[in-house]
A and B are shown apart, each in its own frame.
Chain A
Amino acid sequence: MNIDEAVKTYQTYYCLDCGVCTGSCPVSRVLPTFSPRIIVEKALFELGDELLHDRELWSCLTCGRCFERCPTNINFPEFMRSLREEAARLGTAPVLSHHGMLQTIMELQTQGIQQKKTAWAREAGRIADKGDTFFFVGCMPYFDVIFREIGVDSLSVSRNVIRILNGAGIEPVVSDEESCCGHDMLWNGRFDTFKTLAARNVELIRASGAKRVVFNCPEGYYTFKHHYPQYLGNLGFEVVHFFDFVETMLADGALKLNNGGSVYTYHDPCRLGRMARIYDGPRNILKRIPDGRFVEMERNRENALCCGTSGWANCSSCSKQIQAERLKEARATGAQVLVTACPKCRIHLSCALGNMDLDIQIKDLTMLLADAVQGAG
């Protein structure tokens, strides 16, 4: 899609030039040279060539706070995504984080490698080859290796999802052949790779006979729920978030929380909150933890601050500043534990916390749940 088509598709000509987007943007606060409003204007005034070669195109976190507050409802993140596709076609690229290691893994997954990444799942509990429920693990086996050095044990989250599902009498399908959901490729402007990954996943899930797919990663969930049907049509299976599942189990009494006792605050991941509109589920779960107290940060729900980087690209001093600000905000609530629901938010915020002298713990909601359940034993 070229710039003119992007302008038409996302109706950016409705821009009132009010600047609320730039005023809301967490990047603009740190880097005044970056402005969503100016990007929209350049697109409208046919300065496309300049725009598509501008590195600022990759500074956007696609966190969606501008879209949330735009009076004419311009979907800036999706507009940005289409500009990036066009920019990538013209040969501009983002600065990839971690030397592009994660993008390399994603590319290799489209080349017919035979992955061996489910040994942990068999140790964690009962899994199946075929069945009604497919657990989409996502990048966690890779994250577990890459981010171990900053003390983030990604697979512990996945193990506990399996244990909790097993506890509810469900033996989920977990597959070696699962590919990356394509979220990062999509937002990095590499649509073709995204589509190859997506098609492989849909084929794999259909072949497993699954009627529903459970996600604990917000990016996977949102990409399957929103972008897959857009490009691949009807999927033929249901896309469920793990927390919906947990909420039902808690309401039915199938899952009981016995252990807790801390002060918690919750960081809304952009894909789960502003994009998938899941705000209450995680909060309801947190509020059920016995002897615990839940406190909100000043910027919560629609106004939550981003974790600072997105799509494994352009992690910069700006990202670090945003993360430090978020962590301080969390601590200022009096919370002892900052709870996140996204594997990447957890990684990014933990990385920043490593360089700070701040008395707060970062925990994934699934881990917190597992601790609360285990207290029963």
Chain B
Amino acid sequence: MQHISDKEFDHLFKAGLADAEVKPPASLWDQIEPQIAARKKRKMPYRWMAAASVVVALSAGIIFMQSADQPNYVQQSVKNDLKTTSDLKAGSEKAAVKENAAKQAVDADQPDVVVKTSATESLSAEVIPTPLEETSTPSVRQNEKTLIAMQPLAPEPHLIHTTPAQQAEQTVELAVAAPDMGTALASTENPTATALDEEHNAEQPERARIRNAGDLVNFVVDKLDKREQKILEFKTDDDDNSSLIAINIGPFKLNQRKHK
């Protein structure tokens, strides 16, 4: 072999090395395995957090607005909510199915304000078990309760007495969740507790801060989502008619005005 062309020379290497095999050290897999597991876990909660926030925020908003108008529309609102939610995010499908179950529970119950409470109750109960991060769970739950506590009709004596078990559970959960929350929320523990005793005065200071559903959702989202552009933002200037002005779910963004 006197002379070898570049092509031949390259081929020599390609043939010799393209399918070459070199056994890696046996211990390498043990280092790879934990990395796959860790990354998977980190990915999930964020997606579920987003889905759960949308479900909670929408249902909270709609139920709250309905309570200002006619209580009889509750069933329909839950239905609307179901539709909007599944339109908004495919990821929330699971939650939506469960919501459906909640709706059926509503159908079975009497169409009263109690239904609202139980619908919200089971909704939050269903949403919570999804793998939210531990720290965020109490705040979602807490605020859902806050909403219930602030519903003007909720403290009515006969309604409360129809669901003593739920109220008791609420109080227990609030007591458990309270240490994690700031002072502002600590005071929201009182309305529910006092509601049981049919005393409403403790509600007043909290109402001044969170006047409507939009405020509430903004507050919840603020707790959950530390980005500058929140996953959801409501305009709350117009008292009872809060309107959605900004959404930021990863690639899907909507912002109707410049951020404050």
Q: Do A and B come from one complex?
A: no
